[in-house]
Amino acid sequence: MKEVLAVRDMQVRYPTSGGLAALMAGKRATSIDVVCGVSFAVAPGDTLAIVGESGSGKTTLAMGLSGLVPVSGGDVVLDGNAVAMNSKGFLQPDRRRISVMLQDPVGSLSPRMTVQRLLAEPFRIDPELADDPDAAALRLLDRVGLSREFAGRYPHQLSGGQARRVGLARALAQKPGLLIADEPTAGLDVSIQGEMLNLLAEVQRDMGLGIIMITHNLNIVRHAATDMAIMYLGRFIEQGLPQRIFERPRHPYTAALLAANPSVNPATAIDRIQLLGEVPSLFERPRGCEFHTRCPRAQDVCLERFPQRQGVANTQVWNCVNPVD
């Protein structure tokens, strides 16, 4: 099937405003690469899960795709058309095809607006979408399984799960082709997490959505994703089909990440891989493979250049010269 979104070598670079002192110290770079050279494609009905530590650039990637931070390089193809990018990121008509649910469910709803107004808002921004914004808002409320009595509530009167549903409804209003869900289950208890994932799956099926899901929760990846990518310091160091990666992770970082996932079964022998040290600063990106500072399998060549991509495309690929076997 044709992809909703295909991205090649996407870069997000933040300028660092160090001021005069930083200029005189002369050490720091004038910009930092938060996302560097990321490639992926999402087809309708696909769910790409992006996992990685805090600070690995997952959220920045999402913000770059939704036009909230400037994308500094790469090719983006949306619905088969190359997207013209200016210094501000995407152009407005393209942006509507990509909706985003931000991380903080309550905080991403305007606090002085009722749910009704919040849901009518996208139709007021874009009057072509619906003739009657208020009726459309109520339809959205039904769509995400909230009863009409929520229409009069304010965001602070909603629970995390309810606020998530309202956020999802808002994201669906513009009939996107791709939904970016940043931590859609964070802060929800397990039963509500399940409901949220089921709702996402239902909406995905009905609307033929492609979903990019950013998460820390590996169990959710296993349950919901059709593709996964592991991000480290702004790069995808391993990506492919979840069942393949869970079964046989090749990159040492992936292996460590998966080994850290707690198991429900206490009898399972846990074979943790301990990583030493901290995630390196983006200001001082290590030479070569960024992971060599913490990698138990690092070799001399790892210090020299970033490793070539290996593996089978669309199944499992990794960037490591000395993969786990």
Q: Is 104 in the site for another protein (CB under 8 A)?
A: yes
Residue 60 structure tokens: 């920045």
Of 174 and 322, the one with the shorter C-beta distance to another protein is 174
Q: Closest separation between CB of residue 92 and another protein, Å? A: 6
**Of 64, 67, 177, 184, which lies in the binding site for another protein, with binding defined by CB under 8 A?**
67
Residue 103 touching another protein (CB under 8 A): yes
* Closest approach of another protein to the CB of residue 2, in Å: 24
Q: How many CB atoms lie within 10 A of CB 167?
A: 25
Residue from 5, 36, 58, 66 in contact with another protein (CB under 8 A): 66
Q: If binding is defined by CB under 8 A, does position 7 make contact with another protein?
A: no
272 binds another protein (CB under 8 A): no
Q: Confirm if 170 and 120 have CB atoms less than 8 A apart.
A: no
CB nearer to another protein: pick between 96 and 294: 96
* Least distance (Å) between residue 186 CB and another protein: 13
Of the candidates 56, 72, 99, 162, which one interacts with another protein according to CB under 8 A? 99
Burial of residue 174, with CB atoms counted within 10 A of its CB: 0-12 exposed, 13-18 middle, 19 or more buried: middle
Report CA torsion sign: 205, 101, 246, 317. positive
Dist. CA 154–CA 116, nearest whole Å: 9
Judged by CB under 8 A, the residue of 112, 264, 269, 278 near another protein is 112
Alpha helices for the chain (secondary structure H): 19-25, 58-65, 92-95, 115-125, 133-143, 160-173, 190-207, 218-224, 242-247, 252-259
Residue 173 CA to residue 143 CA, distance in Å, equals 10
| Contact (CB, 8 A) for 151 and 115 | yes
Q: What residues make contact with another protein under the rule CB under 8 A? A: 63, 66-68, 92, 95-96, 99-100, 102-104, 106-113, 121-122, 125-126, 154, 156, 167, 170, 173-174
